[in-house]
Amino acid sequence: MRAVDIIRTKRDGGALDRAEIDNFVAGATDGSWPDYQISALLMAIVLRGMGDEETAWLTEAMARSGARFDLQALTGLKVDKHSTGGVGDKTSLVLAPLAAACGVVVPMMSGRGLGHTGGTLDKLESIPGFRVDCSAREIVDALVEVGCVIVGQTRDIAPADRRLYRLRDVTATVESIPLITASIMSKKLAEGIDGLVLDVKVGSGAFMKTVGDAEQLAQSMVRAGQLAGVRTEALLTRMDAPLGRAVGNAIEVVEAIETLRGQGPRDLTELSVILAARMVLIAERAKTIGEAERRVRDAMASGAASDRFRRMVARQGGDPGVVDEPSRLALASGRELARAPRSGYVTGLDAMLIGRAAAALGAGRATADDRVDHGVGIRVLASLGALVRAGEPVLELIHRDGKGLGDAAALAVQAIELGGAPPVPQPLVVGTVA
């Protein structure tokens, strides 16, 4: 089986069989396929697409390219959640302990931020001592003791994805739903999970800008999961404005802790309850979605959810004292206000621009090698629908010695949209795929 023949088949619009896809993934993993042939097939996939079966085979082959977690010894169904990324999206920090407090086993493999979107691992590493590079044995032990763990992708998990992603980034082949699906879902399948809830973001601050594109991606990922024997469903949720009031790293951890106590912003709390309830239902810890939501809210109100977060932090080497004293998470000392240029109702807070502003301050990274400043970020002072007068603060920029402040301030002011009437409230969840 020659690489050039596989490339030609896809170039001419043909469907690849399982053996051809296995050959491609094995070649990407062991180096027998050179970069130029991998890139040629990636471009052919972008231009010609892949069917559901091809996408599922690619996903499974990438998951098999490395190690897989063995969680069979753990009692109960293992369920994870994945978000396609947004601004202020700290739901993973809330969901893992919240679902675990309801009896769900949650092995969560997360990533770092790049561009305008934040990364769960960067946020957690703002907690002194918190480790995201746990071994397979440590992950299993944490799941036994705590019920949840949030870690980064180890080098032996889906190694094919690392090479393919690197080449996609430099060959203009990122925008392919089959390739996006395989990249995301291969890592999830390698976790050894039984169920998965997907949060597919749509809007100005999301990778998918339209509901149609987001629905297409959701359907592709759900089909790939289900064909692999993982109970998978997706929610499409809005990402036109930041989720919650905090954008950054340490500042988002603080807001996540508040939400676990039932004291978080309304939109973040609502979405966390919805997603956690889906996880509880998939894990068969409730018989109806109504019962699942009641269990989730009870875990917040009773303190069980925040206690589970405290235990997770301690188990992964972090300072559990931050749960009771969030002020121990040090923020940068600089403050700058982005003010309303005129009076009116806040009709928009462009998530993309606010995410870029936070990244300019140092909360994000432009390249994978950039260092993140955990103490900087942006706080929303006037949410959508608020009536503000000219000169009143809408956003607070938390900066360190003015670094990146000029660019961030300009972006923040540009992100503020004002109108003569309050915006029509929009539902947080705009669709479901199951």
Nearest C-alpha neighbor of 77 from the set 250, 210, 197, 178: 197
**H or E segment and range at residue 92:** helix 91-101
Nearest C-alpha neighbor of 96 from the set 60, 123, 126, 128: 123
Task: Determine whether 285 is an active site residue.
Answer: no
Question: What does the DSSP assignment read for 29-47?
Answer: HHS-S-HHHHHHHHHHHHH
Write down the catalytic residue from 89, 122, 161, 199.
161
Under a CB-based contact definition with an 8 Å cutoff, are residues 79 and 95 in contact? no
Write down the catalytic residue from 64, 78, 187, 308.
187
Task: Determine whether 161 is an active site residue.
Answer: yes
Task: Tell me the one-letter amino acid at 405.
Answer: L
Q: Is 129 left (phi over 0), alpha (psi -120 to 50) or beta?
A: left
Under a CB-based contact definition with an 8 Å cutoff, are residues 221 and 234 in contact? yes
What's the CA gap between 269 and 31, in Å, rounded?
46
Phi and psi (nearest 5°) for 339?
Answer: -105, 160
What's the CA gap between 106 and 143, in Å, rounded?
7
Under a CB-based contact definition with an 8 Å cutoff, are residues 277 and 299 in contact? no
What's the CA gap between 77 and 129, in Å, rounded?
30
Write down the catalytic residue from 64, 78, 81, 82.
82
Task: Determine whether 116 is an active site residue.
Answer: no
Nearest C-alpha neighbor of 274 from the set 289, 259, 257, 260: 289
Strand partners, 431: 236
Write down the catalytic residue from 163, 168, 245, 356.
168
Under a CB-based contact definition with an 8 Å cutoff, are residues 432 and 234 in contact? yes
Write down the catalytic residue from 183, 204, 220, 272.
183
Task: Determine whether 12 is an active site residue.
Answer: no
What's the CA gap between 147 and 71, in Å, rounded?
12
Cα→Cα distances 287→172, 302, 370, 417, Å: 45, 21, 46, 43
Under a CB-based contact definition with an 8 Å cutoff, are residues 48 and 13 in contact? yes
Task: Determine whether 183 is an active site residue.
Answer: yes
Active site residues: 82, 161, 168, 183, 187
